[in-house]
Every structure is written in structure tokens, then in C-alpha cells.
Amino acid sequence: MLNTESSKSVTPRGEDVEIIEVDMQILSYRGPSAPGGVSSAITQIFQQENSSNEWWFIDGDRLICKGVDDENSNYALDSNLIENHYRYCNNFLWPVLHDLPQFAHYSQQERLCYKAFNSGIAFRLRNATSGTNGFFVNDYQFALMPKLLKNVTESFVFWHIPWPKYVRPEHVDAMTEIAAGLLHANVVGFHTDEYRQNFFNFVTDHMTQFNVQNSDHTIKLIDKTSYRSHSTKFVCAPLGIDSEHWSDLANLGNLRQQIFTPPDMPIILSVDRADYTKGLAERFTAIECFFEKYPQWQQKVSFLQLGTRSRQGLPEFDRYWQNCQERQTSLNSHRATGNWQPLVWTDEPRSGAELAALYSKAAVMLVSPVRDGLNLTAKEFVACQKSRPGVLGLSRGAGAFKELGNGCVELDPHNPEAFAHSIAQCLSMNDREKVIRAHAMKESLTANSLTRWWQSFDQQCRWSQSKSVLERQIG
């Protein structure tokens, strides 16, 4: 007899059926309270939901299992596998998945280690699971896990980065391997409809053994040997945030003033890692263009960039960091006067309270990735706005544009002159329009809160998991 509870619920297809309440364990590359919006969101869910009774994650050279009662178990991992898995994820998968294949470096050895790393983690999880507890899998680092776990338990994936619009022929084989892993999950969630459709197009073009059903967003595999089938449901579930939490932080006003020069000057804020997907280099070019086209703003506004170094030691990321540093130095050397710098860049880590204070103080927030999964900083900025709000400039390269496009000013990171014009538009906007735009975006945040995001995705997962459990009982 399975240790489960049951209740009546409406399924995603509108059917009134019995839902078996079963627990889901979490598997992610980074653990509780790790930096990053997705990790923070999952941490909140983990702390609030009794159903998530274990969280598996990587910490250094260890696989950690953390329980809700704070009891931990940990297992040693092979350092060579860890290093090569990390390099495959960031040298190859990261740029390809973000439609930036020009930054990709493929290594067969790193790919083999990626597979071995996933297999080793799966072996540990298979031995630890009872078979009734499914896994909520987050992070592209574990893309193969649903296939590796399929024979012993169910899995549910939240894919928090894009799926590419186009995959180069030389990259198709490796990406097919990633897609096949996901296609053994019960449910896969993407941030946007575009990412989901990109995935469907890839499967249609390169994986003919799968049957794509656009009408109900499912993809089915029929095993011609056993005549058994497996269907994966794909949902659009953009990650929400806890708006009240960020609003409360903004009200604290916890801000170290010494980073501003001078302190009372309007700030145009950006918060990014120095990652080529984030568009820092393109933004710095646009800032130079802005001061050329609108010299009246010199010494009247300052751009503040909060940005830490990303993936140090990997060539493309190191080159990008150096490129951005050189652009900032060049801009300031040409235009800085007295105690005024056009672009202030600090890589000092900031607390949530300090970020919230910066969000609420900024006259403008620029979020201009070339390609980004969602970019929660845009949502955090909106949540921190008060009675006299600032303006959000946002590029279509951010997944959040789908939700916040009704209130932001659009940025084009590929067109410096258009970008500069958008900055001027943000600065010259009247107070009434600012309030209207901020209200529209806050309504979007309310409609898709962190709690509602989890409930929506969780319902899909539990309906699918209950169906699988019942099928195993009958069988």
C-alpha cells in the first residue's frame, strides 16, 4: 500500500478526478539561499511547502541532501567529473541554449563527463527514493536526469533558461541528447511560450521518433518494442516573485550612500553578472552614444552598474569581463569631470535590502540582455517602486518582457542610437505616465506571484504524478 493521501481536484483538462497527494523532492545544482532569483524562489517554496521534504544539491565536491528538519546527508563526488561537467555546462550548453553559439566551445571529454556526472547523481537518487516521491528538477546541469530516473520514479522539470531558436548542424547531436533527457519527464515548464515553441520546433525537425501535439502542448514517445507510450506535458510558467517581500525591503531604506558620486544625482541603475548574455558591453556602447546625442545630460545623471564577475577561469567569460572593464575605463576617461563619472561600476556584493533601496531610489532601471531566461531583477525593481516610481527600460531579450512589456520602455541592445533614445525617453517621462506604467507592471506581478506560479506548476505536476501512481497500482 502506498503512503499517500487523496482529494478531489480539477485536472488541467477540466476533469474532476481523484488526486493522490505525493511528495516531490527537489534536485538543483545550487542549494537553499544560493545567489540567483530561481534559487531564492525555490528556497521560499521549500521552506513553506511540507510536501517538499528533501532538497538535493551540489556544494563544492559534495552532493548534499537537506531535509526540512535541517538534517543533512552528503556524498563525495569525483573532482574531475565536477570540473568537466562545469566546463561543458558553461563552455557549450550555456551559449548554445542562449542563441549565442559564437561563444560555444565543444569538448567530447567534457560531454562524456557531463553524462557521467548525471549518471552518478542518478545512481545515488535511485538508491534513496522509495519510488513514490517524484523529483522536481531545476537547472540545465541535470537535463539527463528524467531519462536516468524514469524506471524508478517520476520527474518534473522547470527549465529556467531559454531553448534556442536555431541550433547549428554541428551542435544538433549534443542538443538532441539534452532534449531526449527532458522528454522522459512528466511535465516540463518553460518561462515563455517562445521557449516552449522553440523546443517543439527542434523536436519536430530532429527527433522524428517523437510525436509533437501542439494542440495540448504534449510530446509523445511510442516504444515500438514494448508498445508502451510516454507523454510529456509542456507548460508555460514564468517564475513569479514575492512582491510584498521586496516592497517591505524597499521601505527599510537600507542604503550605503558612498557608492554614489555625487549622492543626490539621479541614478540609472543596472544589476547584472558580467555575462555575455546580459548585454553589458552593448549597454556601455549605448551609454557613450547617449552622451554624444544628449550632451545636456552630462554631469546631471550617473549610470550605476552593479555587476560581479561570472565564471572566472573560462576564456569567453574572462574575455568578456576584460572587454567590459576596458569600455567602462574608456567612457570615464573621455567624459568624467571633477567628482562626476558617467558610469560607476561596483562589483561589491549587495544584500537584498540594499538592492531594494537602490531599486526604489533609481530614476531609471536598465535591463537589456541580449538573451536571458527571465531576468528577475526587472520584476524586483517594479515591486520596489513607491508613489513616485522610476522607469523600467527592458529589452525583448529578457523573458520578463512578455509580462512587463505593457509598462516598460523597450530597449534594443543591438542598436546603440535607438538604445540612447530610449534612455532619454525614460529620463524625460512625466510623473503621470510613470505612475500609469508602474501600476500596469505591478498588476502583472500580482497576477503571477511566486505563490501562484508554484500552485500553477505544482498542479500540473501532481495531476501527472497521480496518474502515474494509479497506473502502477493497477498494473
Q: Are strands 218-222 and 229-236 parallel, antiparallel or unpaired?
A: antiparallel
DSSP string, 384-448: T--SS--EEEEETTBTTHHHHTTTSEEE-TT-HHHHHHHHHHHHH--HHHHHHHHHHHHHHHHHT
Pair (399, 273) in one structural domain? yes
Pair (38, 143) in one structural domain? yes
Q: Which of 52, 128, 21, 27 is nearest to 465 (CA)?
A: 21
Q: What's the predicted TM-score (pTM) here?
A: 0.89
Residue 287 DSSP class = H
Pair (357, 212) in one structural domain? no
Give the Cα separation of 438 and 387 in Å (integer). Answer: 10
Is 475 contained in some domain? no
107: left (phi over 0), alpha (psi -120 to 50) or beta: beta
Res 474: pLDDT: 45
Pair (207, 321) in one structural domain? no
Give the Cα separation of 425 and 164 in Å (integer). Answer: 31
Res 68: pLDDT: 55
Pair (204, 59) in one structural domain? yes
CATH number of 335's domain: 3.40.50.2000
Pair (427, 457) in one structural domain? no
Residue 366 DSSP class = E
Pair (168, 259) in one structural domain? no
Work out the burial of residue 56: count CB atoms within 10 Å of its CB; fewer than 13 is exposed, 13-18 middle, 19 or more buried: buried
Pair (256, 175) in one structural domain? no
Res 151: pLDDT: 84
Res 45: pLDDT: 76
Alpha helix positions (H), 51-144: 79-87, 94-97, 108-128
Res 14: pLDDT: 44
Can you name the residues that pair with 26 across neighbouring β-strands?
Answer: 55, 136
What is the domain count for the chain? Answer: 2
Grid cell 527542434 — which residue? 202
**Phi, psi torsion values for 13, nearest 5 degrees:** -95, 5
Pair (199, 280) in one structural domain? no
Res 129: pLDDT: 72
Is 404 contained in some domain? yes
Give the range of the structural domain holding residue 408, as residue numbers without chain letter.
243-447
Res 5: pLDDT: 40
Is 405 contained in some domain? yes
Pair (172, 123) in one structural domain? yes
Res 254: pLDDT: 65
Is 458 contained in some domain? yes
Angle made by CA atoms 214, 177, 230, in degrees to the nearest 5: 45
Instruction: Going residue by residue through the chain, which has 475 residues, state the pLDDT in tens, using 9 for 90 and above.
Output: 223 343 444 444 444 434 344 467 889 998 886 666 677 777 777 777 655 578 899 999 999 988 756 667 888 999 999 999 999 999 999 999 999 999 999 999 999 999 999 999 999 988 877 655 688 898 899 999 999 998 888 889 999 999 999 999 999 999 999 999 999 999 999 999 999 999 999 999 999 889 999 888 999 987 666 556 788 999 998 999 999 989 999 888 766 555 555 667 899 999 999 999 999 999 999 999 999 999 999 999 999 999 889 999 999 999 999 999 999 999 999 999 888 999 999 988 888 888 999 999 999 999 999 999 999 999 999 999 998 999 999 999 999 999 999 999 999 999 999 999 999 999 999 999 999 999 999 999 999 999 888 887 877 777 666 555 544 444 4
Pair (353, 412) in one structural domain? yes
Res 16: pLDDT: 42
Pair (323, 229) in one structural domain? no
